[in-house]
C-alpha cells in the first residue's frame, strides 16, 4: 500500500543533513524555500486558513486527489523518491554508520569513490528528465522540453526552484565544475550505455518515444542555458559551495569531488523537496475545489 501524502509530509525532517544543505544553498535564491513540515501546517502556510474544519476539508480533498491513480501525483512522488534512491545506492552503505552528529567527513573518506565524469553526467541528465516528467504529471500536460524550461524560467518557485538549484550545485558544479554544461553536452556525443543506469531504467517507461536517449539529451540541451545563467548570475563555484557546507561538513579544497560523492549518499534533496512540491500542488487544487 502506498504511503499517504499526509504521512509523507508529516514525516519530513525539520533538521537533518538534507535540510542543512538546502538551507546552505538559500543564498542563491534568497528566501525562496521554506522547509514546510506537517500536512496541516503546510495547508495553513499555503492557504492562510487557520480554522480546523476548513483545514480538514482541504486535507480530505487533497487525500482523495492523491489517491486517484488517474491523476499524476503518486507517479511524481515515485519518480522523486526513485531517482534519489538510485543516486545514493553506492555510497549509502559506507555512510550509514559513519556520519555522526557533526557530519565529519574525513573518517570515511577512504570509503567513498567519486563517480566517473561520464556516469555523473548521465545521472544529472536522468534527474533532469525525472523532473520534467514529474512536472508534466503534476500539471496534466504532455512532455515537452521547451515548455518545461520556459516554466523553469518563469514559474518555478519555492521547493521546485530550490530543487533545480540543488541539482545544478550538487549534481553539476560540485562533481563536474562550473563549466559542466558544455562538458555534459560534449558527453552526449559519447556512446554511454544508458540501459546500465538504474535511474534510466526507472524513468524510461514514462518517455513516450522509442529514441529515449535523444529525448533525454534534448531535455538537457534545452535547460542548459538556464543552468549556465544561474551559475553566472549567482557566482556559483565549487569553492563557494564548499564554504557554505563547512559549517557541518569538513572537507579539504582538493577533495571537492569527494564532497559531491558524500552528498550523493547522505542527502535526499530531490525526494524531500519533491514531496513538498506535490503537497503544494495538491493543497492549492484542493483549496480551489472546496471553496
- Check residue 53 and give its pLDDT: 93
Q: What is the pLDDT of residue 105?
A: 47
pLDDT value of residue 61:
96
What pLDDT score does 189 carry?
63
Q: Domain limits of the chain?
A: 5-290
Show pLDDT as tens, one digit a residue, over the chain (291 residues): 478 999 999 999 999 889 999 999 999 999 889 999 999 999 999 999 999 999 999 999 999 999 998 899 999 999 999 888 876 654 544 444 444 433 444 455 555 566 667 777 878 888 999 999 999 899 887 878 888 888 888 889 999 999 999 999 999 999 889 999 988 887 766 656 666 677 777 888 888 777 888 888 888 889 999 999 999 999 999 999 988 888 777 766 667 777 887 888 788 999 999 999 999 999 999 999 988
pLDDT of residue 258: 75
pLDDT of amino acid 100: 43
pTM score of the predicted model: 0.89
Q: Kindly tell me the burial class for residue 69, based on how many C-beta atoms sit within 10 Å of its own C-beta (0-12, 13-18, 19 or more).
A: exposed
Rg of the Cα trace of the chain? 19
What does the pLDDT read at residue 93?
Answer: 43
Amino acid at each position: 500500500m502506498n504511503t499517504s501524502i499526509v504521512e509523507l509530509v508529516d514525516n519530513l525532517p525539520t533538521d537533518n543533513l538534507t535540510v542543512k544543505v538546502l538551507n546552505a544553498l538559500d543564498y542563491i535564491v534568497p528566501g525562496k524555500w521554506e522547509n514546510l513540515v506537517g500536512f496541516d501546517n503546510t495547508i495553513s502556510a499555503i492557504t492562510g486558513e487557520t480554522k480546523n474544519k476548513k483545514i480538514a476539508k482541504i486535507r480530505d480533498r487533497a487525500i482523495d486527489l492523491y489517491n486517484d491513480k488517474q491523476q499524476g501525483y503518486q507517479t511524481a512522488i515515485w519518480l522523486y523518491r526513485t531517482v534519489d534512491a538510485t543516486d545514493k545506492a553506492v555510497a549509502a552503505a559506507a555512510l550509514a554508520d559513519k556520519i555522526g552528529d557533526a557530519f565529519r567527513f574525513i573518517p570515511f573518506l577512504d570509503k567513498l569513490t567519486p563517480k566517473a565524469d561520464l556516469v555523473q553526467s548521465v545521472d544529472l541528465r536522468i534527474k533532469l528528465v525525472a523532473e520534467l516528467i514529474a512536472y508534466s504529471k503534476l500539471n496534466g500536460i504532455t512532455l515537452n522540453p521547451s515548455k518545461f524550461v520556459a516554466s523553469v524560467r518563469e514559474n518555478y518557485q519555492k521547493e521546485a526552484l530550490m530543487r533545480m538549484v540543488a541539482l545544478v550545485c550538487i549534481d553539476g558544479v560540485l562533481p563536474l565544475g562550473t563549466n559542466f554544461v558544455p562538458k555534459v553536452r560534449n558527453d552526449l556525443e559519447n556512446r554511454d550505455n544508458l540501459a546500465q543506469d538504474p535511474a534510466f531504467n526507472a524513468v524510461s517507461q514514462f518517455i513516450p518515444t522509442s529514441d529515449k536517449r535523444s529525448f533525454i539529451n534534448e531535455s538537457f540541451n534545452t535547460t542548459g542555458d538556464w543552468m549556465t545563467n544561474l551559475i553566472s548570475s549567482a557566482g556559483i563555484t565549487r569553492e563557494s559551495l564548499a564554504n557554505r557546507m563547512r559549517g557541518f561538513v569538513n572537507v579539504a579544497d582538493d577533495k571537492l569531488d569527494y564532497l559531491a560523492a558524500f552528498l550523493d549518499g547522505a542527502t535526499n534533496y530531490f525526494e524531500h523537496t519533491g514531496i513538498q512540491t506535490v503537497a503544494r500542488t495538491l493543497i492549492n487544487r484542493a483549496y480551489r475545489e472546496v471553496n
